[in-house]
Structure 1
């Protein structure tokens, strides 16, 4: 399995590099507390269509190392930039889901647009999740404090409750549930380090990505469900699209947070169409 040893020389991150080596590059940044495995439907689809797809496990998550330090958004973005440099990735389209959408935005905010030609933010935490005076549509801090308390009390049970309920929308009346999706989420979450997953809660909830979004001067597609119980659309995509110089929002009616899973075919179609449009733009 491929790993990159980061410049601190003590941390390695795992990554997948699938598809045609000479094909157009698409990178994937996963959500909390998951791993690159959560994008396998998209990775296989695009790799089969002639693209080179690259997805890493964020530090503290998946198969990557579990350092005690560096579990913050700036370092996540810097780690990803190191992977871009090590693999000499250029003209890439960056895809980020949930926390991964914030990672993509912070990557551009810290490292610019030279290696990127477009991005797709799926159910992303941008621009800011937590409620503040300036962000009254946000989620109360008590919710994220509850996440931390639940992790300390019984992480395993918490990591069953989230996918069994709001993440996939399985708590909605008439929802068709998937035990497989729940168990996959649980397995990925439990693979993460405790400190990595715990500290990431602060990063995805309290990081303000507003200035990062303003620097994303290339085309950006936002995909968001209007029944997202984890990252409500009113405080996220509908605000983010106004900050993006070239943003386009596609709303999935009635859809939950887990678009790459529950709406995999639709997401794949939208990714392929958007990436294809960049070739002729």
Structure 2
């Protein structure tokens, strides 16, 4: 017989352990009446600290952040592929400190939102944004989009209800259209995007390290100041999303033609682009978008990369603020 059993009878040991555990759980799980009253009293005060979602008609849940005074002018941020609202942390903190209400959401299939296998295209993305702005009743908002998020902004603003949008900003954005064709000879060949899809399917985790380690932030350039934290954060955000949604989104950001959207927008739009953008080459994007827009300001940045909002917020944030205040 086991020597522990001779010293402590098995039945008694189990009974005592169960009774002790039950008493401990009860003490932890059942608050006093005073504690319960406090919890109920503070419920309204703390409910906005929970993870907020809106549910779209197809039962998709869209995660969003909403910080700052509800009566302040809203600035809405739209992230790039394959990231999340977290990619805007620096800008959200900056504008929060400057008195704005700041909002960012995880696009469907990305981040904390539902990992959809359908609806991963620009029409649905824009409809999701409209549902979010309706749910929060945002008025005179400034919409800021980076990369794929810039396409989402353009597609939404061209269809937005009157009074919802005051201005827009697109940064390193994919419009007018990325893929090469007879009508867009300066675009990237479809084989580039086929390569993205193949790499994602083969080893998404490695692909999502290779992109931020190299061209996204310009860390592949001589003398670049590489940040392992930034690379790991990009990977973390990407791996939170769904592989199918990320796969579909490659087509959405590369093959959607935003020409008519750009022509339809008459609100002020700031077009910002890094001249060393290796993801969305500037020659086939920002200048063309600025020409199609009725009321645009084009601002380019020598030597800055695609992810310049992260690598150079001390340059980008003041320019954003100046445009919004102008």
TM-score by length of 2: 0.83
Aligned match of 1:182: 231
State how far apart, in whole Å, the 2-side matches of 1:274 and 1:91 are. 14
Alignment of 1:1-281 (within 5 A): 1-8=51-58, 10-277=59-326
Q: 1:270 to 1:34 in 2, by over 3 A?
A: same
Give the drift of 1:189: 0.5
Give the drift of 1:110: 3.0
Give the drift of 1:112: 4.9
Contact 1:61 1:192 in 2 (8 A): yes
State how far apart, in whole Å, the 2-side matches of 1:108 and 1:119 are. 8
Give the drift of 1:22: 1.1
Instruction: Give CA deviations for 1:115-172 in whole Å, capped at 9, x if unaligned.
Output: 1110010000011000111111111110000000001111111000000000000011
Contact 1:217 1:246 in 2 (8 A): yes
Instruction: Give CA deviations for 1:81-140 in whole Å, capped at 9, x if unaligned.
Output: 000001100101100000000000110233355311100100000110001111111111
Q: 1:218 to 1:106 in 2, by over 3 A?
A: same
TM-score by length of 1: 0.97
Q: Which has the higher contact order (CA 8 A, sep 6+)?
A: 1
> Which structure 2 segments of 5+ residues have no match?
1-50
Is the deviation greater in 104-113 or in 232-241?
104-113
Give the drift of 1:196: 0.8
State how far apart, in whole Å, the 1-side matches of 2:185 and 2:197 are. 22
Aligned match of 2:31: none
Give the drift of 1:29: 0.5
Secondary structure (helix, strand or coil) at the match of 1:119 reads strand
State how far apart, in whole Å, the 2-side matches of 1:50 and 1:244 are. 29
State how far apart, in whole Å, the 1-side matches of 2:162 and 2:143 are. 11
State how far apart, in whole Å, the 2-side matches of 1:251 and 1:12 are. 36
Contact 1:113 1:216 in 2 (8 A): no
Give the drift of 1:263: 1.2
Secondary structure (helix, strand or coil) at the match of 2:86 reads helix
CA RMSD of aligned residues (A): 0.9
Contact 1:3 1:12 in 2 (8 A): yes
Larger Rg: 2
Give the drift of 1:233: 0.5
State how far apart, in whole Å, the 2-side matches of 1:190 and 1:226 are. 28
Number of residue pairs aligned between Structure 1 and Structure 2: 276
